[in-house]
Amino acid sequence: MKKYKIALIKGDGIGPEIVDEAVKVLDAVASCSDFSFSYEEALMGGCAYDIAGDPLPKETINIALNSDAVLFGAIGGEKWDTLPREMRPESGLLRFRKELGVYANLRPAVVYDELINASSLKASVVKGVDLMVVRELIGGIYFGEPKGRTADKGWNTMVYTRDEIVRIAHQAFKIAMQRSKRVCSVDKANVLDVSQLWRDTVIEVAKEYPEVELSHMYVDNAAMQLIRDPRQFDVMLTGNIFGDILSDEASMLSGSIGLLPSASVGAKIGVYEPIHGSAPDIAGQGIANPIATIASASMMLRYGLDEIAAAKKIDDAIKKALSEGYRTQDLAQFDAKEVCSTSEMGSIIANYIVR
């Protein structure tokens, strides 16, 4: 029997609550498949700083590199917001992604028919939305030098090299080939030199994918188009900061940020993580929506472990729970037959799998 080693990084805030539910669902899937999981926990974020004095202890990298995949919850919280930049939870996460080399962050946004009323947009606008933001994850303004801060000045630099753009563009075109074969590259080439290089490079890479239709959009227009007519998008290819912003925006097409999963890939070990944060405002109350993390576990099976049938089982169970009217607090107003806790939602989804 195959045995997959999963590194679990629960993190801060709601992180432990949502990762526990994803583990419940993974165990349910394993119980009716020809593989099993072993888990090793590792610290990252504020909890790691509190215990080890570092938001990314060396041991965490080692555990991740010794695993088959990493399932990650979320990090951050006000308690750590005044630490020096390098000691903040967010710096730990950025360093983690960089050290692993996961340059491609796949963020699908799908509108479930069952939740059509949960979107902040009209049903007629969002029905059938199925798009994928392909976000470059370890470059751009998040990492560019110089950066710094004095009392009266702060600066960051948006840098991309041609090679960094080439590899993320290939990811986007390959994904588009499995989907509706359309890539919209989002940039700010009308203003930024780095974006002009981005656009020129994407056009070059596109020549290797003649079946894929490539379009370009400025990021400000893209933010508007995502709300005006989201169905026009299949794959949205974009840089680090634009992808961060557009994917949070896209989550409201689906109805809650608690629904959106992601896969951070491109290296030997992938990191599977919801797109949302540690939600300090609801942490510890047992009301967070675990679906984004459970769907991230499904992406781990699909993209990281090549267990497509098992991934489908999770996806189907999520849909079943929603179609039966189970809702966590964030979606309680929308066609709920029963409002459930974080842990109840995990159990319901797990039960649909083993049944």
Pairing of strands 69-74, 104-110: unpaired
For ligand NAD, the binding residue among 277, 317, 327, 350 (CB under 6 A) is 277
CA 242 to chain centre: 14
284 is in an annotated binding site: yes
For 46, the token pair is 């504020």
Q: Which residue from 136, 121, 342 is spatially nearest to 253, judged by alpha carbons?
A: 121
258 is an interface residue for ligand NAD by CB under 6 A: yes
In the chain the first and final C-alpha atoms are separated, in Å, by 22
What is the rounded radius of gyration, in angstroms, for the C-alpha atoms of the chain? Answer: 20
307 appears as a binding residue in the annotation? no
Annotated binding residue at 146? no
Is 218 annotated as catalytic? no
**Token representation of residue 293:** 């993390």
Tell me which of 18, 93, 138, 294 binds ligand IPM, using CB under 6 A.
93
User: In the annotation, is 3 catalytic?
Assistant: no
**How far is the C-alpha of 169 from the C-alpha of 323, rounded, in Å?**
36
Residue 181 DSSP class: S
270 in contact with ligand NAD (CB under 6 A): no
β-pairing verdict for 130-136 and 104-110 = antiparallel
Note whether 255 binds ligand NAD by CB under 6 A. no
Sole binder of ligand IPM in the list 14, 69, 94, 318 (CB under 6 A): 94
Residue 264 per-residue DSSP state? E
- 142 as an active site residue: the answer is yes
Q: CA-to-CA distance for 74 and 276, rounded, in angstroms?
A: 7
Counting contacts by CB under 6 A, is residue 330 touching ligand NAD?
yes
d(C-alpha 71, C-alpha 229), whole Å: 33
For ligand IPM, how many residues bind (rule: CB under 6 A)?
A: 7
Q: Confirm whether residue 193 is marked as ligand binding.
A: no
- Please identify which residue in 12, 54, 234, 244 interacts with Mn ion, judged by CB under 5 A: 244
Q: Which of 4, 49, 142, 160 is catalytic?
A: 142
**Given 248, 315, 316, 335, the catalytic residue:** 248
Q: Does 74 bind ligand NAD (CB under 6 A)?
A: yes
C-alpha span between 126 and 308 (Å, rounded): 27
What is residue 9's three-state secondary structure? Answer: strand
Q: Which stretch binds ligand IPM (CB under 6 A): 86-94, 188-196, 300-308, 347-355?
A: 86-94
Task: Answer yes or no whether residue 211 interacts with ligand NAD by CB under 6 A.
Answer: no
Q: Which is nearer to ligand IPM, 93 or 300 (CB)?
A: 93
For 146, half-sphere exposure in the C-beta direction (CA atoms, 13 angstrom radius) is 6
Residues 229-288 that bind ligand IPM (CB under 6 A): 244, 275, 277
Q: How far is the CB of 271 from ligand IPM (least distance, A)?
A: 10
Find the catalytic residue in 50, 163, 193, 220.
220
Q: Active site includes 220?
A: yes
Tell me which of 278, 304, 318, 352 binds ligand NAD, using CB under 6 A: 278
The partner in contact with residue 94, picked from ligand IPM, ligand NAD, Mn ion, none with C-beta cut-offs of 5 to 8 angstroms by kind, is ligand IPM
DSSP string, 23-90: HHHHHHHHHTSSEEEEEEE---SHHHHHHHSSSS-HHHHHHHHTSSEEEEEE---GGGTTS-GGGSHH
Q: Does 20 interact with ligand NAD (rule: CB under 6 A)?
A: no
Q: How far apart are CA 69 and CA 64, in angstroms?
A: 7
* 297 φ/ψ angles, rounded to the nearest 5 degrees: -65, -35
Strand partners, 267: none
Report if residue 12 touches ligand IPM, rule: CB under 6 A: no
Active site residue 54: no
Binding site for ligand IPM (CB under 6 A): 76, 90, 93-94, 244, 275, 277
Binding-site positions for Mg(2+): 220, 244, 248
Binding residues for substrate: 97, 107, 135, 220
The residue ranges that bind ligand NAD (CB under 6 A) are 14, 18, 74-77, 90, 93, 257-258, 273, 276-282, 288-289, 292, 330
Active-site residue numbers?
142, 188, 220, 244, 248
